Amino acid sequence: MPQKIITANRLIDGEVVWLGPDGDWVEAVAAAAIFDAAALEVGMEGARRGVAAGLVVDPLAIDVVLRGGAPVPSRLRERIRAFGPTVHPDYGKQADGKGTHP
């Protein structure tokens, strides 16, 4: 199974976030916790707790590849979420120093 990370949108502002290694929600994909098959369900359980606590909505496990040790989403859709609109480099994560499109 490809390696996975868990993403969601933050409830209060819709910001794209990922589940971090400490169980918190991080704003940069590079800081996301990486899960293998065995650990994924534990991660999803943590994500569901985030939903129940009203922190995030729509958690989802997504495939990633590792580049320089950091996770990069495999699908274009998730890369756009991770870095921002490809047509607006001045908006989204890419504008806030939280990653750039590969």
Partner 1 sequence: MNIQAPYTPAPHAGVYRYDEFDREFVRQRTEEFRSQVQRRLSGELTEEEFKPIRLMNGLYLQLHAYMLRVAIPYGLLNSDQLRRLARIARVYDKDYGHFTTRQNIQFNWPTLADTPDILAELADVDMHAIQTSGNCIRNVTTDQYAGAAADEVLDPRVYAEILRQWSTLHPEFTYLPRKFKIAITGAPNDRAAVKVHDIGLLAKRAPDGRIGFEVYVGGGLGRTPYIGIKTRDWLEERDFLAYIEAVLRVYNELGRRDNIYKARIKILVNEMKPKAFIAMVEEEFARVPRDTYGLDPAIVEAIRQHFAPPPLADLPARSDRFETDYAEDRAFACWVDGNTAAHRANGYRIVNISLKPIGGIPGDASSAQMELVAELADRYSFGEIRVAHEQNLVLAHVRLDDLHALWQALVPAGLATPNIGLVSDIIACPGLDYCALANARSIPVAQRLSERFADLDRQFDIGRLQVNISGCINACGHHHVGHIGILGVDKKGEEFYQITLGGKAEEDAAIGSILGPGFSSEALIDAIETLIETYLKLRRDRTESFIQVVERLGNAPFKEALYAAA
Q: Which residues bind partner 1 (CB under 8 A)?
A: 9, 11-16, 51, 53-54, 57-58, 74-77, 80-81, 84-88, 91-92
Q: What residues have CB less than 8 Å from 48, skipping those under 6 apart?
A: 59
Nearest-approach distance from CB 65 to partner 1, in angstroms:
12
Nearer to partner 1, 39 or 91 (CB): 91
Nearest-approach distance from CB 58 to partner 1, in angstroms:
7
Q: Which of 75, 72, 78, 77 is nearest to 34 (CA)?
A: 72
Nearer to partner 1, 10 or 40 (CB): 10
DSSP E strand boundaries for the chain: 4-10, 16-19, 25-26, 56-67, 70-73
Nearer to partner 1, 36 or 91 (CB): 91
- Phi first, then psi: give them for residue 13, nearest 5 degrees: -130, 0
